[in-house]
Structure 1
Amino acid sequence: MKRIITLCLLFLALSGLKSFAQPKCYINGYYLTLQGDTVVGELHFKDMMYLKYKSPDGREKKFSPSDVKGFTIQGKEYASWFMEQYNTKRFFRIEVRGYYSLLSFEDYHSQQTTFFNGTSTGGIGFYADNNYSGYYLQKPGSDFLLPIPKIMEKLRKFITEHFADDPVIMKKAEEGTYSVDSIFQLFREYNEYQDKLILNK
């Protein structure tokens, strides 16, 4: 029985389930040219790497993240950013805009499997984790994105390094309030803190 459970977990781990749903057909939206112009039409994107555009007269174009500034589809905004890990640009979804912006990336092509001890799986457990998938911090005026750690201890250190000027956030971080699941809350609270500082100047 344990062997069956282990095999089932392995199948799920290697099945490459995608957490970010992508449209499978053309959907109304718009993209931004490198010059900042807005072009409206039907869009389709794949694997955070390519964007297809269909004009009202049916003509199609294919763009890489280096060809456009970004695009918006289904109410979700994406921007092209240089990704050091690939030494090229990729599309990132903008989750929170503000003094600190929160972006997310889904890596569909680089998978890592981690093994660990687990009593529920007969002593061995594992899970598949896309190497560069996750959330990224973009600081004002910076062209680089900082990957946000997924492990609690490393996340706490990350917060200490980059959010240290907000005493309320630092106290919550010490109490273990923040995790990857509450990363949106962290960014919104910090941006509100920065907005108040600007208003009080």
Structure 2
Amino acid sequence: MISLHDCEEQLGRAKTEPLRLAQAAKSAHLALQSALIDALAGSASIGAYDEKLRSQYLSYFENTRAGLADLPKSDRVMSFNRLLAKATEQPMEWSGRSLEVSDDERDALERLSFLRDRIEHPRPDTWLIEPQFISLTLPVAARLTLRLLDERSHHYEEGHRQILDNTVATITNYCAAMG
């Protein structure tokens, strides 16, 4: 997953270029959001949509057989928080398990989402963030991303899982060094 690798790369450069931590946070958030979408998609590839849009797609699939269907106009997935809630509250199709997230991990993900939102949607103000505020969130996002990617492990190419394990370990080590 390219966003997870980008997070690793940005962290590697952050020691000499501290602003790279912002990009690492964005990349970690995107990696986790993408993994949530992929894990929730399911066999029909509609599990990351809200209930109304899922219903529209199901109707489309059913009516396509008779040639009477129009493809839904939207393909907008749920927000990060709704995706996370769905993954933690109900079993995912491929594994039959929900995503386990501790209270501390939820706090870290809230901080990561706050960072991502502030970085991605700038405001006319100044703010300072301690590197540790960021470094505490990234290993959590990386580990959960890896867990979610395992939902679709049948799509892995040989050696892919080991590369991802190494990436998560490197992210964790970079962040531990920031301590």
TM-score, length of structure 2 as denominator length = 0.27
Whichever structure has more helix as a proportion of its residues is 2
**Relative contact order (alpha carbons < 8 A, sep ≥ 6): 1 or 2 greater?**
2
TM-score, length of structure 1 as denominator length = 0.25
Whichever structure has more strand as a proportion of its residues is 1
Instruction: State the structure with more CA Rg.
Output: 1
